[in-house]
Structure 1
């Protein structure tokens, strides 16, 4: 098993234990619900995870951090423990007849046809064999679950997103901008937001770092399925800090209502100010935005906060 596979499996394991580690759920109820579900484990296929196994992962994470969740390396790497050379040749020949079939389906097909005995040859044994011979295609992952939010404590959850910003003129040339932001679900305070000239991950890295430094660490980050929010770097950073990273279903902006509403507020209350006096650089745009954010948005009574300001609720 290469390091990339070990890393993917560790991220999956962290996703299951994060609610327990962060104290977000009642352990007994959560363990019962999770152990009864079938999970798609990266590189290993669909399987159930016993409550005892989940608790073991929690213990390992608390003692050794993220790296402790990675599967241990095998001493007989590169060799199947249960497939003979003849078995391998036969399975490879069958695979070449169905080269585009997802490995999970191919594995189930082998069992159904009696090619391999059930509960004797693991999914990963087949996956490793196929990968070694470059016979692994892309697999379709299950849709993430829809979540509902109603938190009454700050830093329980931050919603994150990216929005197209105004086009500014720099030295006579038009330049697109993109606003990346987080908003605290409870207080509607914006831990940090900034305009960037592109939609690349570097912008999200800066915003995430500044938000945590200024307002502390959230228990959860909730974002869409955009490429930068699916970044392995962000997943790893959240796992290291003990943050649960949750993604919305595609084309479902309503599930991130608070950050979407903040972007509309920026569009209706801040952008008109730029029309009167257009910024001459990206730095000037951000300086004016941060001033508006602190002096206007954070200090203005919010209808969803019983007339209190985001600043007052966050500080309380």
Structure 2
């Protein structure tokens, strides 16, 4: 049973995680049925941390809900009995535990049926989820079996865009534009196509956060289409609810590698090693020589190296073909799944919930906005571009309402969004008022000296000296 602190967003993310392999690519009826049977055999970790197993009926129900209403349809509807007491009589619970101890093979549903037939409870008065919750709290149910020993197996996606792998590398340090004389870490965000080893997106930033990940992933999808599977690191930026929602709305199966097992993302890890061998050493030399000082220069060199030194270079794992050749040939046989740019822009908007006060006003990122009067005292969903807080889209229970009107706009950008990088400072002018005045004084003195010499020469010419007398 899920905790009351488990939000609908977490539940929707868990349900999509289960059905993602069923919606990320087309499946025949037989393939879908076999895959659902496989999913039912797995033990899943619910949002509250408890191990659970799922029935085919549950998975079919979630699958139908997603296909009918998308990501939003996976979130549970508000309970009809909110505010009422949901309590299990201690005597009934003790009897249920005793029935379980007497025969550990009895299922929860069977125990409820036994108590109903014995007239200890009214039919339907004890729910399966309620009794399961109390059993788990008291350790009555069997715990999840430990994972089998990890075995490494070489694998590869069947075609381009079937799977992307993403990660972040601490590559080099650049001069800090805000603090002269100091350096700042540059982070490389990258996504690689598992089948072709083609780099679909890579860029350096000074920040390792959600907006930077969003920028690289969004432009990779715009340029190259939507992947079926996105295999990422377990870092905070890759485990955010935001990325789960984006993948859910784009029908991407988001997967995370096991902690401390980078081999699960072997393609991107191997590419980072190639970056260290072919790119990092060369660019560090240019940084030391002062020829690379900015992110713009660093990203321009990365783009050039990808085009010349990687994408068109023979790859041993591709039987001597280049990543570009394999990427291009596979996309001809398996055209990429694309989305309109406007749809992608809406999906990549940030999303939050806000409680509207009685005057129809909400607060967001230090700003105050007025919303439609019909939304007063309701909890609504807001979507917005973190780089432009002047436009806030409002939704309530799946219905779109007019955009919010800014009342007090202290911030035009969200605080989590990095400020625009300041342009490099202009070189010093070398001008100084006192030295310029001194130079001007010297110039005037020279001119005055020249005028004095000219006047003296003119006077001597007008009054020539007499020759001295000759003495006998």
Q: TM-score, normalised by structure 2?
A: 0.54
**Are 1:160 and 2:166 an aligned pair?**
yes
Give 1:177-196 correspondences, 5 Å limit. 177-196=186-205
The answer (yes or no) to whether the contact 2:209–2:237 under 8 Å persists in 1 is: yes
SS of residue matched to 1:191 = strand
Secondary structure of the structure 1 residue equivalent to 2:172: coil
More RCO (CA 8 Å, sep 6+): 1
CA distance 1:179–1:70, change in 2 (3 Å): same
CA distance in 2, matches of 1:143, 1:204: 31
Q: In structure 1, how many angstroms separate the alpha carbons of the residues matched to 2:326 and 2:9?
A: 39
> Could you tell me which residue of structure 2 aligns to residue 80 of structure 1?
85
Classify 1:127/1:290 alpha carbon distance in 2 versus 1 (closer, same or farther; 3 Å): farther
Deviation digits for residues 194-241 of structure 1 (CA, Å, limit 9, x no counterpart): 111132222211111111111111000111211111111011110110
Aligned to 2:388: none
Quote the Cα distance in structure 1 between the aligned partners of 2:41 and 2:158.
Answer: 30
> By how many angstroms is 1:81 displaced?
3.9
Matched residue of 1:277: which SS?
helix
8 Å Cα contact 2:172-2:284 kept in structure 1: no
Match of 2:84, SS state, is: coil
Residue in 1 aligned with 2:123? none
Partner secondary structure for residue 177 of structure 1: strand
1:82 CA displacement: 4.4
Q: 5 Å matches for 1:52-131?
A: 52-83=57-88, 120=126
Alignment partners' CA distance in 2, 1:253 and 1:20: 26
1:299 Cα deviation from its structure 2 partner: 1.2
Distance 1:312 1:295 in 2: 13
**Secondary structure at the counterpart of residue 158 of structure 1:** strand
Q: 1:245 aligns with which of 226, 243, 254?
A: 254
Determine the structure 1 residue equivalent to 2:47: 42
Whether the aligned pair in 2 keeps the contact of 1:189 and 1:298 (CA below 8 Å) is yes
Please tell me whether the aligned partners of residues 247 and 253 of structure 2 are also in contact (alpha carbons under 8 angstroms): yes
Compare the two structures and name the one with the higher helix fraction.
1
Match of 1:204 in 2: 213
2:308 is aligned to: 295
User: Partner of 1:260 in structure 2?
Assistant: 269
Provide structure 1 residue ranges, at least 5 long, that are not aligned to the other structure. 92-107, 129-139
In the alignment, the residues of structure 1 paired with residue 255 and residue 246 of structure 2 have an alpha-carbon distance, to the nearest angstrom, of 14
Gaps of 5+ in 2: 102-107, 113-125, 135-143, 330-472
Higher strand share: 2
Determine which of 5, 8, 33 is the counterpart of 1:6.
8
**What CA RMSD, in Å, does the superposition of the two structures yield over aligned residues?**
3.6
Q: Tell me the equivalent position of 1:215.
A: 224
Alpha-carbon distance between aligned partners in 2 of 1:277 and 1:41, rounded to the nearest angstrom: 50
Shift of 1:267: 0.9
- Where 1:212 maps in the other structure, the secondary structure is helix
What is the deviation of 1:275? 3.3
- Counterpart CA distance in 2 for 1:37 and 1:244 is 17
TM-score (structure 1 length as normaliser): 0.79
- The DSSP-based 3-state class of the residue aligned with 1:8 is helix
The equivalent of 1:310 in structure 2 is 323
Tell me how far apart the structure 2 counterparts of residues 124 and 310 of structure 1 sit (CA, whole Å). 54
Q: 1:196, 1:143 → 2: CA distance? A: 38
1:135 matched to which residue of 2? none
Q: Determine if contact 1:5/1:43 at 8 Å carries over to the other structure.
A: no
Q: Deviations over 1:39-70 (max 9, x none)?
A: 33224843332112211211111111011111
**Residue-pair matches, total:** 288
On the 8 A contact 1:162/1:180 being kept in 2, the answer is yes
Residue 181 (structure 2) pairs with residue 172 (structure 1): yes
Contact 2:13 2:245 in 1 (8 A): yes
